[in-house]
Structure 1
């Protein structure tokens, strides 16, 4: 399948990126440093294009009505969305590492801004697709012989009291991931993972509490 080929290509490029990141740019000549950074950015841009291709494929495959899509299909799409968001988190981590290297030398700001623009565009695509999946999940179910009685409304859960100290936690909501949470609280993705003893590829579940301000 095309999706499997894209995933295979991404894993291959990730391996190449890890090899390139093992270089020490400050020990190189300025010309060599620029070539190394340009090569890394070119690979990340290509990864971003691959992720966009996966998002488009999923969007095209989704029907317009919820009755045309089974719960198993929705579950499969949800898993694919989670995998895409993990890939975005890895790409963002690579971008941050390149930015750290570039901060040690002047210039190349335009290419960094292009990477930021690509990531924002990718997140917008993912958000739109996530909203479409949510809409399909909430759509009318296939009509049955007898309508089931409407479920009683659940009482709203009392809000959790805020901790007295400055320590702050975030309760994971449906559709959230580590990258979105780090953006929401203005904390670096790597720092968020570090204080919660996690990695960027770890999955999180709705209801899970994450430390966002130690």
Structure 2
């Protein structure tokens, strides 16, 4: 029903106040709306930027890995090239060796003949050395015999006076005259002989 006059005034006064509060609430809620929209739009944008950055990083890592792999492959190719050059060089050396072996094989009969001649020369040298040694032995034997003969001759040509010997006994024993024995040895008429004295007999 009816409202008391004093309450009517209050009611009328509070009406605009409540309207202002409602309008403030509506205006406050609408002021956050752009920020919410911005945030909603920024989330996928940030995700897109993150995905793009991550993908770029992955691509860079992939490129780096590919570059490293290419460097390794290039080094392997270089190593294979060096190995190929080495094989080519070894092949050339092998060909030279085969050619040298072929030349040696072709010269083998001549080499065998030369070796045979060398063997014959060595045999001849050994024979000459053997004959030379034999001659040397004969010469040494002859020299020894000659020395012995010379010693015998000297023993025959000289006589060593023994104790108790006299010129007559010595001359009679060696078939020489006493006069000749004195003349050969230069013994005077009154000169005596002594033991150990060597008397020339011829």
TM-score, normalising length from structure 1? Answer: 0.23
Bigger fraction of residues in helix: 2
The structure whose RCO (Cα within 8 Å, separation 6+) is larger is: 1
Based on CA coordinates, which of the two structures has the bigger radius of gyration? Answer: 2
